[in-house]
A and B are shown apart, each in its own frame.
Chain A
Amino acid sequence: MSMLISIKPEEYDFFVRINEEKDIVIARQMVKDIAKKLGFSLADITKISTVVSELARNIYRYVGEGFIYIRERKEGKDVYIELVAYDRGPGIEDIDLAITGGFTTTKGSLGLGLSGVRRLMDEFSIKSEVGKGTLVIVAKRRRSF
């Protein structure tokens, strides 16, 4: 049991189990509604939903089953939406390579998944252990206009 790659589900507001292709759409629709509720701008809602689409697809394509966890996080006056993609899959051997744009292990994608996710969010962290699983945590701060 790796303590490195685990989260406490009870600390999150929502979660979606990803184990079929339709779940990708469910996850992104759900996050869209949550980001809207938290008062994010339309541009940020679109970015956040796109990020979930990429993370959920990674789970579905490379692992087959995993979870997306969502919560609101407050830091002083700032409000963040935090998204976690968690799976107990094969893990990523070379993380640096995986987050470099253009890298892909399956045909039929631009390989922009993780690098794109990193560019769209304010915070990005990834932990992965071969044979244990992968944990991607991203967050975006709500901007006031």
Chain B
Amino acid sequence: MQERVVPIIKIYDCLVVPIQIELDDTTVEKIQKQILSEIENNDVKGVIIDVSMVDIIDSYISYTLSETATMARMMGCYTVLCGIQPQVALTLAQMGVNIKGIYYAMNLENALEILAGIEE
């Protein structure tokens, strides 16, 4: 049984992953594993990662999120990152971090609309 560190909510053909815990390196790796195993177990086309409660996203966390999106894409899923705080966006942009292979949304509603708009 996969260790669960965050709640993952299935809604229609999407998985919603709200991250409301402090992200250390081990936790972010566990979240990645948990997302991949939930994709395997559910028939979904999208994953929405809500980071509106995350105060700090550093280079390792952003790398792992980007890697997760690539892995999810290989399994047939699109990933949307939603709710990045303005000061986190500022920090990431100034550092030169570019999270690849991922869609961005202002909020959950927006993220669901983006996924609904993607034609397979």
Contact = CB atoms under 8 A, between A and B. Distances in A.
A50 B62 CA distance: 12
Contacts, number: 75
B59 A112 contact: yes
16 contacts: A21-B24, A24-B25, A28-B56, A43-B87, A46-B90, A47-B94, A54-B58, A109-B60, A109-B63, A110-B60, A110-B62, A110-B63, A112-B59, A115-B95, A116-B59, A120-B94
Contact of A53 (B26, B58, B94, B97): B58
Of the four ranges (under 10, 10 to 19, 20 to 34, 35 or more), the interface on chain A belongs to: 20 to 34
Given A43-B87, A49-B56, A110-B63, A22 B97 contact: no
Contact of A21 (B25, B62, B94, B96): B25
- By secondary structure, the B interface counts as helix
Given A49-B56, A110-B63, A119-B96, A25 B87 contact: no
Of the four ranges (under 10, 10 to 19, 20 to 34, 35 or more), the interface on chain B belongs to: 20 to 34
A112 B95 contact: yes
A112 B88 contact: no
Nearest to A118: B95
A140 to B, nearest CB: 12
